[in-house]
Amino acid sequence: MDFKDWLESTKGRFSSLCDKEKTETLQHLLELCGSEQLSFLVQVYLPTTCQVDFFAVLPNELSHKIINYLDVSSAFNSRLVNRTWNRLVTDCISLWSRLIWEAGMRQPLKITRNHVHTLAKRISRNRHMADRKSIREEIVKAANVNVTYLYLNGNMLAIGGEDRFVYIWNIRVNELEKVIAAHSIADLNFDKEYLYTASYDNSAAVWSFATESMYCLYAGHINGVMSIDVNREDNLVLTGSADYTVKVWDFHSGHMLNSFSNIHFGWVKKVKFLEKLKGDRHLVISSDAKGNIFIWTFQFEHNWSNEVDILKHLQSFVSPIIFNDKTFCVVLKSAESTKCTDESINYFSIENLDTRPTFKLLKSKRIRNIKDKLLIDAGRRFAVFMVNELDAINLQTYFYIYDIDREDILQRIQVPKDRCEGVAPVPILGDRDWLDGFTDNNQPNLLFISVERQFVTLHYLSHNNKV
């Protein structure tokens, strides 16, 4: 009997056996097999014939431990394998919690399947932001002379010009709403009722939008006024000057209430009210051109007092960024490094306001892989730096979006070269809410605003929602 006849006879007799007999027969045959036969069984026959999904039959706890090692691309691709894999990957909360954090999104209180889709859109938009072709520009002739200062509040953009006028533009409808005949602008901000300006002409002023004229003038500095802040609740105006002094004024009368000349020994470039304390005391932060930042208190007294209580002294050539919930951040030289280029961004909270305020360091993160940087703005999750880089031929300007928690660069966006030349204000950010972390509702639309002579350019991100 040849082999084929024997094989057919054996198959017929095997098929007539019961299941128990078949199993016993198979066991004996496997014991007779060598390495070549067993390799064929495991590597060729079983994978192609049985197609067992070993991952799907694992316990969920073990599957999730494996899933936690996936990067974001692998996670999304794994969900496309089949329904079982989709369920296992989507339901792995620890995976999505990590990926949400890595994508710069704010952590939700409870992660649901909807957050998976949100994350996919966020990743798509992150990639979209880096593409120069995705940025749409709108150019506005903002003034008849060179623009010297920009300040954005909601949809309203205030533009200071060399002609000493301030132009208030509604950028949503691209219309000029008000023109205020003011003075040279070193600093400005505004609310619904008033425009507040600090000027190189040694004065500060408040201007009424209702009358489009000066409401009150604050004269008394002997050099240019570099910064202004207002406390409307207590009707106080705070100014910092190149004469090294900080002064406090009555909002309505313009009368000087306090003058502090014993804090700074350089141009005062930033002043800000922080908190109202007990006993008519006020908490203030101020910085100067020599790299000193002071946080101090003064007590408002009608009989004049220039005594201050300096609570904290920091050294940084970058003005601090103040948040609304008693926190602020500042760029400092890294304490553990001797290199002058090694810096960290540090977040402080202000505590014990009922007694003598103290400051708690919330976090300190290194700024890595960005040289010769200028801090434009920062939130609790992201900071934006402007960097000039020399390529083979030209000097190019970039915005670096820096992920503070991950200590890594999220995006690098080129600022158009023809918007960077000449003497012009530093570009400012448009939408800012995303600096605290992305959500599905705060994707940046207006990325930044830049100036070239009389022209202001609004740089919009053309969103691509395809995932």
How many domains are there within the chain? 2
Same domain, 79 and 201: no
Same domain, 211 and 104: no
Same domain, 242 and 354: yes
Q: What is the 3-state secondary structure (H, E, C) of the chain?
A: CCHHHHHHHHHHHHHCCCHHHHHHHHHHHHHHCCHHHHHHHHHHHHHHHCCCCCCCCCCHHHHHHHHCCCCHHHHHHHCCCCHHHHHHHHCCHHHHHHHHHHCCECCCCCCCHHHHHHHHHHHHHHHHHCCHHHEEEEEEECCCCCEEEEEEECCEEEEEECCCEEEEEECCCCEEEEEEECCCCCEEEECCCEEEEECCCCEEEEEECCCCEEEEEEECCCCCEEEEEEECCCCEEEEEECCCCEEEEECCCCCEEEEECCCCCCCEEEEEEEEEEHHHEEEEEEEECCCEEEEEEEECCCCCCCCEEEEEEEECCCCCEECCCCEEEEEEECCCCCCCCCEEEEEEEEECCCCCCEEEEEEEEEECCCCCEEEEEECCCEEEEEEEEECCCCEEEEEEEEECCCCEEEEEEEECHHHCCCCCCCCEECCCHHHHCECCCCCCCEEEEEEECCEEEEEEECCCCCC
pLDDT tier at 466 (50, 70, 90 boundaries)? Answer: very low
- Among 319, 345, 367, the domain-final residue is 367
What pLDDT, on a 0 to 100 scale, did the predictor assign at position 137? 80
What pLDDT, on a 0 to 100 scale, did the predictor assign at position 417? 58
Same domain, 227 and 81: no
What pLDDT, on a 0 to 100 scale, did the predictor assign at position 420? 46
Q: Is the pLDDT of residue 225 over 80?
A: yes
Give the least confident one: 26-40, 118-132, 349-363.
118-132
403 found inside a domain: no
pLDDT 10s digits, 440-451: 676 667 888 888
Same domain, 207 and 70: no
What pLDDT, on a 0 to 100 scale, did the predictor assign at position 204? 97
26 found inside a domain: no
54 found inside a domain: no
330 found inside a domain: yes
Give me the domain span that covers residue 69: 60-129
What pLDDT, on a 0 to 100 scale, did the predictor assign at position 305? 60
Q: Is the pLDDT of residue 281 over 70?
A: yes
- Among 344, 367, 390, the domain-final residue is 367
Same domain, 258 and 124: no
**Mean pLDDT score of the chain:** 84
What pLDDT, on a 0 to 100 scale, did the predictor assign at position 219? 96
What pLDDT, on a 0 to 100 scale, did the predictor assign at position 55? 72
Same domain, 115 and 210: no
257 found inside a domain: yes
Q: Is the pLDDT of residue 381 over 50?
A: yes
Same domain, 216 and 114: no
Same domain, 81 and 206: no
Give the least confident one: 226-235, 250-259, 386-395, 403-412.
386-395
pLDDT 10s digits, 395-445: 788 889 999 998 998 888 877 654 445 556 778 888 888 888 887 676 667
Q: State the CATH number of the domain containing residue 300.
A: 2.130.10.10
313 found inside a domain: yes
389 found inside a domain: no
177 found inside a domain: no
- Among 345, 367, 389, the domain-final residue is 367
